[in-house]
């Protein structure tokens, strides 16, 4: 029987073939994936494997470079030199002048500056004198004149009347006592009333009505013919103590206030002086412009006021100007080839002449400074490159000789025994301690 040939597979056969084909293809795909995974895993293991030989070579190269760098960069040498120091001293004079504008070394003149302060002061002072504060008793008396033959009697001002208790009073003005009147054998006394005042203060003169006589008439014919009497008690007498101003009070006030005002003026003057100026006590001048009081000696008062005006003036000069002059002077006197050591300059001064009004101060100077022989550190360090300690000491001894008192050499690190070839690694230090 002839076979049938189908151009199109039946559905069942087609599905079976398709299933088998998928399974085959799936297994092949899985197999390929496994192979790929294995390859990748192998490659990953390869990448993570340490490369020991190249890293060691690089490390050794770096270490070598570091050693070379340290060999050339670490070594250094410090050469400490103690130069021999001499003291140079001089005595000189200089004038500080307010008319000078700058330092003149040839004329030995430097600028000075004038300062001035005026102080006014007023103060109350107590009176120390004692005085009596008295009230004089006074009153009226009637003077009787019974002189026979009748006649007028004139008493001068200041005539004393004495009471029967012994108290004295006076009349202030001249008194004319009328004459008596006579009629037969009968005489009527002439009379006049006058005011009398006690010669002393005090309550004891406030006497009751009394009889009076005129002591000055004793021994004359009028002594028993002239009499007086008061009809009322005397009044106004009292006594007390009060303060009064004395000459010593005024002089003491002047001395005290002038001194205080002068001190205040000088203190204010010093406050005006800048910190960089030198002010000598002998260059301060003060004078009293005015001093006095309007109260007179003998015035009764518990206190009085005193006023004073004081002017203080001074000359001062800059410390920097003095130091500069001193330094320049010492440098000008130094031997050739010497250097003045910094911070060793000493300047002592004292005033020999001061005239504040003229604006001049003359100073005596004692100058001193330490000097040493010039040492060119740059040239010296250049000449010592590549030298060991012995060679360095010998070279310094040959070039500087007795101008050096001590040398100390330091190499670093510890294995270095000579100065580097690089001058920047050789440090020359001058020591003066």
Q: Give the DSSP H or E segment for 68.
A: helix 52-73
- Among 169, 187, 171, which residue's Cα sits nearest to residue 179? 187
When pLDDT is averaged across residues 38-56 and rounded to a whole number, the result is 51
Give residue 280's pLDDT.
97
Instruction: Please give the pLDDT value at position 71.
Output: 58
pLDDT for 34: 45
CB-CB contact of 409 with 79 (8 Å): yes
Tell me the backbone φ, ψ of residue 267, rounded to 5 degrees. -65, -45
* DSSP 8-state symbol, 216: G
Q: What mean pLDDT do residues 378-403 have?
A: 93
pLDDT recorded at residue 37: 45
Token match 């009328």: residue? 178
What is the rounded (10 degree) CA torsion for 300, 301, 303, 305? -70
Cα–Cα distance for residue pair 46/27, rounded to 1 Å = 29
Position 145 scores a pLDDT of: 96
For the record, the structure tokens of 270 come out as 């010093």
The pLDDT of residue 53: 56
pLDDT tens per residue, range 295-320: 999 999 999 999 999 999 999 999 99
How far is residue 252 from each of residues 27, 34, 126, 304, measured CA to CA in Å?
A: 137, 129, 10, 12
* CA distances, 292 to each of 60, 246, 257, 302 (Å): 103, 14, 10, 18
Burial label, 349 (beta-carbon count in 10 A; 0-12, 13-18, 19+): buried
Span 180-224, pLDDT tens digits: 999 888 999 999 999 999 999 999 999 999 999 999 999 999 999
Please tell me the distance from the alpha carbon of residue 375 to that of residue 428, in angstroms, as a whole number. Answer: 10
pLDDT at residue 133 in the model: 84
State the pLDDT at residue 67: 55
What pLDDT sits at residue 44? 46
Distance from C-alpha of 390 to C-alpha of 401, rounded to nearest angstrom: 15
Residue 166 clears pLDDT 90, i.e. is over it: yes
pLDDT exceeds cutoff 90 at 333: yes
| Residues linked to residue 281 through DSSP beta bridges, in sequence order | none
């Amino acid at each position: 029987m002839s076979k049938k040939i189908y151009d199109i597979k039946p559905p069942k056969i087609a599905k079976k073939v398709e299933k088998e084909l998928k399974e085959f293809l799936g297994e092949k795909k899985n197999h390929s994936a496994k192979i790929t995974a294995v390859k990748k895993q192998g490659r990953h293991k390869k990448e993570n494997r340490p490369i020991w030989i190249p890293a060691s070579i690089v490390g050794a190269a770096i270490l070598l470079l570091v050693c070379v760098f340290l060999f050339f960069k670490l070594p250094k040498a410090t050469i400490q030199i103690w130069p021999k120091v001499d003291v140079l001293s001089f005595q000189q004079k200089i004038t500080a002048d307010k008319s000078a504008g700058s330092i003149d070394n040839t004329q030995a003149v430097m600028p000075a500056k004038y300062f001035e302060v005026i102080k006014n002061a007023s103060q109350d002072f107590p009176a120390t004198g004692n005085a009596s504060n008295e009230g004089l008793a006074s009153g009226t008396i009637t003077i009787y004149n019974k002189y026979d033959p009748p006649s007028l009697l004139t008493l001068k001002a200041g005539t004393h009347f004495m009471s029967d208790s012994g108290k004295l009073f006076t009349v202030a003005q001249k008194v004319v006592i009328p004459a008596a009147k006579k009629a037969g054998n009968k005489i009527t006394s002439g009379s006049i009333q006058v005011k009398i005042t006690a010669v002393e203060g005090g309550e004891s003169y406030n006497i009751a009505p009394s009889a009076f006589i005129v002591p000055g008439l004793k021994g004359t014919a009028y002594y028993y013919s002239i009499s007086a009497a008061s009809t009322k008690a005397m009044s106004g007498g009292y006594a007390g103590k009060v303060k009064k101003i004395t000459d010593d009070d005024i002089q003491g006030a002047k001395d005290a206030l002038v001194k205080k005002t002068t001190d205040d003026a000088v203190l204010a003057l010093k406050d005006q002086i800048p910190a960089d100026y030198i002010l000598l006590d002998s260059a301060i001048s003060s004078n009293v412009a005015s001093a006095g009081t309007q109260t007179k000696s003998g015035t009764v008062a518990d206190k009085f006021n005193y006023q004073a005006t004081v002017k203080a003036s001074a000359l001062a000069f800059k410390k920097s100007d003095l130091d500069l002059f001193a330094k320049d002077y010492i440098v000008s006197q130094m031997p050739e080839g010497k250097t003045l050591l910094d911070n060793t300059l000493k300047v002592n001064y004292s005033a020999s002449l001061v005239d504040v009004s003229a604006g001049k101060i003359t100073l005596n100077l004692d100058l001193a400074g330490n000097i040493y022989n010039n040492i060119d550190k740059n040239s010296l360090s250049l000449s010592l490159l590549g030298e060991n300690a012995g060679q360095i000491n010998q070279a310094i001894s040959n070039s500087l000789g007795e101008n050096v008192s001590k040398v100390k050499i330091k190499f670093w690190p510890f294995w270095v025994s000579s100065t580097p070839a690089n001058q920047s690694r050789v440090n020359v230090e001058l020591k003066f301690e």
